[in-house]
């Protein structure tokens, strides 16, 4: 993570067009330097060569955060090949968290009742992963269809009996689907920020969504990212970081309207947005737009202040790890999360004190976190290895994880929670 905005970085931003509105000349915010793809877990440790163009082989790529003062969209400059990011190496399973599954079950039941869905309806999910959400609609007899490009999650969805098209959701795919069916509800959880051609994607939803249908979008909320100093959630999969104002502008270009929204705790702070062709803006949307203006979220200064906090938090975390290691403490990491790859790679030399990472996703066990070559092993190893500290990389799941590891905590183990500033959780915090 660079301490300054170099003239080269500023010039690169000035020569770049905004992903949302196309404005030529966005502003530099934070330069992370070379960063490997956050879910690009390695089969064996290797030194990653710096790359500038998307390649199939593992590599590290520029990760640069910039802001469009025209439409208010925070975004990164580099676009990696999505076939590289969401191909065979993409091992994230949305069913990996019980609390997230509970959230999804409640969401599905709410949607069924809110829109009066029945056996004659269709719910389509873009980036449906392993069927984590559509399974709950199917259990209630609602016809579903998933679309996802990553083979491993799609394989898990098939085992669940969830019909899934193994492809990227595009306007062309939607157009072919629309020949035979239209969706009463389209759901896009944690995907809109990942899409290189966001306007093609939105057009695709317009093709397949029924006339009075509703598009339900969940995206990490940029206000939560800033308030929580969640600099580790900036990575190549996440091309955009949305405020309601910025997303409303992008959708307006497609004559779509955000009519309601619900703040969520998921993924460190997200928004669920209800979008349709008819404008019926709720008080909550109006209030949120107003608070974004009052908070200065349309100004570059708001994001430069975040960048400064991020550098401070990163320095503090590196210093804490150095101090604990100097005391002879054994430190490991909990969860091989995508954001964990970024956090560890931002630490520079201090990452060498993290001896291994534990994760309950068996697809990730036996692999290595890229850029820092930290091995990933089973969470069962906590009991046998008894590390002094676990750096909590999936800090957004802390409640669930602390409860699961309560025995280790009670025996004296401690979690290092990295954000918004590094702090320690012990058995007393259970
Ligand atoms: O965009 C994305 C965000 C929204 O979700 C994707 N890049 C994938 C994912 O990012 P992430 O990997 O940072 O997500 P999580 O959900 O914060 O990390 C989950 C990891 O934690 C998984 O590898 C499973 C692991 N885990 C665990 O080992 N024990 C999770 C729980 C709840 C546990 O008890």
Model pLDDT for residues 188-228, shown as the tens digit of each residue = 999 999 999 999 999 999 999 999 999 999 999 999 999 99
The SS3 assignment for 23 reads coil
On average, the pLDDT of the chain sits at 95
Is 381's C-beta closer than 6 angstroms to any atom of ligand 1?
no
Q: What is the dihedral of CA 320, 325, 327, 332, to 10 degrees?
A: 90
Q: Please give the pLDDT value at position 56.
A: 54
| Angstrom distance (rounded) from CA 168 to CA 149 | 5
Residue from 337, 365, 398 whose mutation best tests the ligand 1 pocket (most atoms within 8 A of CB)? 337
Q: Which atom of ligand 1 is nearest to the CA of 193?
A: 1
Ligand 1 centroid to 343 CA: how many Å?
14
Which residue(s) pair with 389 in the sheet? 331, 414
Is 267's C-beta closer than 6 angstroms to any atom of ligand 1?
yes
Residue from 36, 63, 80, 96 whose mutation best tests the ligand 1 pocket (most atoms within 8 A of CB)? 96
Ligand 1 centroid to 51 CA: how many Å?
26
pLDDT band at 60 (very low <50, low <70, confident <90, very high): very high
pLDDT band at 424 (very low <50, low <70, confident <90, very high): very high
List CB contacts of 266: < 8 A, sequence separation 6 or more: 100, 103, 218, 396
Is 343's C-beta closer than 6 angstroms to any atom of ligand 1?
no
List of E strands, 118-167: 123-126, 144-148, 164-166
Ligand 1 centroid to 323 CA: how many Å?
28
Which residue has a Cα nearest atom 25 of ligand 1?
335
Rounded percentage of the chain residues whose pLDDT exceeds 90: 93
Q: Please give the pLDDT value at position 50.
A: 81
Q: Which atom of ligand 1 is nearest to the CA of 238?
A: 1
Q: Please give the pLDDT value at position 52.
A: 62
Ligand 1 centroid to 400 CA: how many Å?
12
Residue from 85, 92, 189 whose mutation best tests the ligand 1 pocket (most atoms within 8 A of CB)? 92
| Angstrom distance (rounded) from CA 13 to CA 178 | 38
Question: Model's pTM, two decimal places?
Answer: 0.95
| Angstrom distance (rounded) from CA 135 to CA 141 | 10
Is 184's C-beta closer than 6 angstroms to any atom of ligand 1?
no
pLDDT, tens digit, 9 for 90 and up, residues 80-119: 999 989 988 899 999 999 989 999 999 999 999 999 999 9
Q: Please give the pLDDT value at position 161.
A: 97
CB 169 within 8 A of CB 204: yes
Ligand 1 centroid to 397 CA: how many Å?
8
Q: Which atom of ligand 1 is nearest to the CA of 364?
A: 23
Q: Which atom of ligand 1 is nearest to the CA of 92?
A: 8
Angle 20-37-165 (CA atoms, 0-180°, nearest 5)?
Answer: 70
List CB contacts of 283: < 8 A, sequence separation 6 or more: none
Which residue has a Cα nearest atom 28 of ligand 1?
359
| Angstrom distance (rounded) from CA 104 to CA 206 | 24
Q: Please give the pLDDT value at position 89.
A: 84
Which residue has a Cα nearest atom 18 of ligand 1?
337
């Amino acid at each position: 993570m660079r301490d300054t905005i170099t003239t080269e970085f500023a010039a690169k931003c000035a020569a770049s067009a905004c992903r949302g509105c196309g404005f030529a000349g966005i502003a530099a915010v934070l330069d992370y330097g070379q960063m490997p793809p956050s879910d690009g877990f390695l089969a064996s440790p290797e030194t990653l060569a710096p790359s500038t163009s998307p390649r199939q082989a593992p590599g590290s790529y520029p990760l640069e955060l910039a802001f469009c003062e025209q439409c208010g969209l925070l975004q990164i400059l580099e676009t990696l090949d999505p076939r590289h990011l969401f191909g065979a190496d993409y091992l994230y399973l949305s069913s990996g968290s019980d609390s997230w599954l509970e959230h999804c079950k409640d969401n599905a039941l709410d949607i069924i009742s809110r829109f009066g869905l029945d056996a004659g309806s269709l719910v389509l999910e873009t980036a449906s992963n392993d069927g984590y959400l559509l399974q709950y609609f199917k259990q209630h007899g609602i016809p579903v269809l998933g679309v996802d490009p990553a083979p491993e999650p799609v394989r898990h969805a098939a085992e669940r009996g969830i019909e899934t098209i193994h492809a990227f959701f595009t306007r062309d795919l939607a157009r072919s689907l629309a020949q035979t069916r239209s969706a009463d509800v389209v759901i896009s959880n944690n995907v809109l920020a990942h899409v290189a051609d966001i306007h093609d994607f939105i057009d695709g939803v317009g093709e397949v969504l029924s006339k009075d249908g509703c598009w339900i979008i969940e995206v990490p909320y940029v206000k939560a990212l800033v308030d929580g100093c969640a600099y580790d959630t900036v990575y190549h999969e996440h091309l955009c970081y949305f405020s309601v104002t910025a997303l409303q502008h992008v959708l307006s270009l497609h004559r779509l309207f955000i009519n309601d929204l619900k703040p969520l705790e998921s993924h460190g702070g997200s928004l669920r947005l209800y979008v349709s062709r008819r404008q019926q803006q709720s008080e909550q949307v109006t209030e949120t737009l107003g608070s974004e203006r009052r908070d200065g979220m349309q100004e570059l200064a708001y994001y430069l202040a975040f960048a400064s906090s991020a550098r401070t938090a990163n320095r503090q975390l590196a210093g804490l790890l150095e101090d604990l290691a100097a005391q002879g403490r054994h430190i490991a990491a909990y969860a091989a999360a995508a954001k964990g790859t970024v956090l560890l790679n931002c630490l520079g030399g201090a990452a060498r004190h993290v001896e291994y990472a534990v994760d309950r996703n068996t697809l990730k066990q036996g692999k290595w976190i890229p850029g820092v070559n930290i091995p990933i092993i089973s969470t069962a190893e906590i009991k046998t290895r008894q590390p002094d500290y676990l750096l909590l990389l999936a800090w957004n799941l802390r409640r669930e994880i602390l409860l699961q590891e309560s025995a280790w905590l009670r025996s004296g183990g401690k979690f290092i929670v990295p954000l918004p500033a590094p702090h320690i959780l012990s058995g007393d915090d259970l």
